[in-house]
């Protein structure tokens, strides 16, 4: 019965996926426990654990103590989207990155979406910086940045003319966690103008807020030029 030995966790993972794929183990089925699988595969339980834990993280399996491990009934697709610094995002596409600051206003009153995202009262004074990133000269993304001076006072000394707030913050204001949202918005006003997009054109938008513990650092709305796509694999 045990013609083959599986002595590394990747091989075990593949074998488990093969059984699921071949419908030997169907969605909803409880699969044998770690000890049994270890015996069958001729390896240590820790090795089986490594393989199954990894599959659980990717949503293929569901594991619960005592209840055991089962094939996910509704495999939730987990797409991991890499959101690098914009300069690198552009350079990784093999293009030249350019940046120009558009405006900087210390003490600008927080608009509604910013205040809500940062958990502050509307109208609280923030440092507001807008800028345009280019890829090979073409408009790439419009950065609408709001910085909480109370959390990052060092930002007051920056003019953000040459270095984008995007880049400066990442290396000078480490965050503990953040919220991120993807949506579509119509091009309008200043973003439309700088992105050279027709008013009303659909833009892909990323909104991100980062925190240092319970203190908001910054909120940003990134409006990408028309046609932008974020790709990944699952």
Partner DNA sequence: CAGTGGTCTAGACCACAGG
Partner DNA sequence: CTGTGGTCTAGACCACTGG
- Contact residues toward a copy of itself (CB under 8 A) are 17, 20-21, 27, 73-85, 88, 170-171, 174, 176-186, 200-205, 208, 212, 226-234
Find the shortest distance in angstroms from Cβ 84 to a copy of itself.
5
**Among 16, 20, 25, 34, interactor with DNA by CB under 7 A:** 34
The residues, ordered by sequence, that sit 6+ positions from 153 with a Cβ below 8 Å of its Cβ are none
22 burial (CB, 10 Å; 0-12 / 13-18 / 19+) is exposed
Classify 163 as helix, strand or coil.
Answer: coil
Q: Which is nearer to DNA, 28 or 227 (CB)?
A: 28
Let me know: does 42 contact 8? Beta carbons within 8 Å: no
Please name which of 210, 152, 191, 169 lies closest in space to residue 86, comparing C-alpha atoms. Answer: 169
Query: Tokens 């914009």 appear where?
Result: 86
Find the shortest distance in angstroms from Cβ 16 to DNA.
12
Structure tokens at 27: 């969605």
Rule CB under 7 A: is residue 19 a binding residue for DNA? no
Find the shortest distance in angstroms from Cβ 7 to a copy of itself.
18
Classify 153 as helix, strand or coil.
Answer: helix
**Among 45, 87, 101, 215, interactor with DNA by CB under 7 A:** 45
In angstroms, the CA 86 to CA 38 distance is: 46
**Which of the ranges 39-47, 76-84, 89-97, 146-154 carries the binding residues for DNA, by CB under 7 A?**
39-47
CB under 8 A, 24+ apart: contacts of 83-87: 83/180, 83/206, 83/208, 85/166, 85/167, 85/170, 86/133, 86/140, 86/141, 86/143, 86/164, 86/166, 86/167, 86/222, 87/133, 87/164, 87/166, 87/167
Contacted by 103, from DNA, a copy of itself, none: CB < 5 to 8 Å by type = none
Q: Which is nearer to a copy of itself, 108 or 192 (CB)?
A: 192
Find the shortest distance in angstroms from Cβ 85 to a copy of itself.
5
**Among 16, 20, 25, 47, interactor with DNA by CB under 7 A:** 47
Q: Which is nearer to DNA, 57 or 136 (CB)?
A: 57
Contacted by 150, from DNA, a copy of itself, none: CB < 5 to 8 Å by type = none
**Among 53, 101, 104, 215, interactor with DNA by CB under 7 A:** 53
Can you give the binding site for DNA, defined by CB under 7 A?
7-10, 33-35, 42-47, 49-50, 52-53, 56, 63-69
């Amino acid at each position: 019965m045990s013609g083959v030995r599986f002595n590394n966790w990747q091989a075990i993972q593949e074998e488990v996926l093969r059984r699921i794929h071949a419908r030997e183990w169907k969605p909803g089925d409880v699969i044998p426990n770690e000890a049994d699988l270890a015996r069958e595969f001729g390896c240590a339980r820790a090795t089986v654990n490594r393989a199954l834990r990894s599959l659980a993280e990717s949503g293929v399996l569901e594991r619960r103590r005592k209840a055991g491990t089962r094939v996910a009934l509704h495999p939730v697709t987990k797409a991991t989207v890499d959101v690098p610094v914009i300069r690198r995002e552009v350079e990784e596409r093999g293009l030249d990155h350019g940046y120009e600051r558009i405006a900087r206003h210390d003490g600008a009153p927080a608009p509604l979406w910013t205040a809500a995202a940062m958990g502050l009262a509307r109208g609280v004074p923030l440092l507001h910086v807008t800028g345009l990133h280019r890829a090979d000269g073409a408009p790439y993304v419009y950065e609408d940045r709001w910085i909480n001076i109370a959390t990052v006072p060092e930002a007051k000394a920056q003019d953000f003319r040459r270095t984008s707030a995007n880049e400066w913050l990442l290396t000078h204001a480490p965050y503990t966690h953040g919220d991120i949202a993807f949506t579509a918005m119509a091009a309008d006003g200043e973003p439309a103008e700088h992105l050279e997009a027709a008013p009303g054109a659909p833009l892909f938008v990323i909104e991100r807020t980062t925190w240092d513990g319970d203190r908001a650092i910054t909120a940003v709305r990134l409006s990408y030029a028309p046609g932008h796509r974020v790709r990944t694999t699952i």
